[in-house]
Amino acid sequence: MKKVAAFITGLVLAFQVQAQQSALPSTSVKDLNGTSIAFNQTVEKGKITLISFWATWCIPCKKEIKNIRGKLADWQKETPEFNYMTVSMDDARATAQVRSYAKSQGWNFPVFQDPNSDLKRSLNFQNVPFTLIVDQEGKIALMHTGYEEGGEDILYEKVKELAAKK
């Protein structure tokens, strides 16, 4: 229970810090085919996007994505203006590993890569798992580091809160 309370407190603090709603950086990321795209072009305007930053070596990251994926279809039915995507923080040597892992897990959502940590520097975060929620205007509504079991539900509550504001 203390872990959940600490997680909620962290989310509240993260939201308060990020309340100024900054724009997404135009830093280049790569899709799984190696094509570069500006990060701010990866989110669909008019939709809220939950973005999980992860790495193949990060057990909590993979657990978070697995738990989100298990609930994603229901969430998208309940909140049609909601998208989900991931960004791998693995370096360039692990490109094939990221691609094969995403395929082996049956991920049917966009997966991008930041092999040189350019986006990580642009967003100024240190560790994964790291999560962003981007609002309908493409502005950052929440930034959060870490993952505890059940944390995905708290993130989705924030998504629903943003959807209700439109």
- What pLDDT shows up at residue 14? 47
**Is the pLDDT at 17 greater than 60, yes or no?**
no
Q: What is the DSSP string of 90-136?
A: --GGGHHHHHHHHHHTT--S-EEE-TTSHHHHHHT--SSSEEEEE-T
Under CATH, which architecture does the 2-165 domain have? 3-Layer(aba) Sandwich (3.40)
Tell me the C-alpha to C-alpha distance, in Å, between residue 104 and each of 73, 98, 108.
19, 10, 11
More confident residue, 155 or 11: 155
Residue pLDDT, tens place only, 80-133: 999 999 999 999 999 999 999 999 999 999 999 999 999 999 999 999 999 999
Average pLDDT over residues 43-50: 96
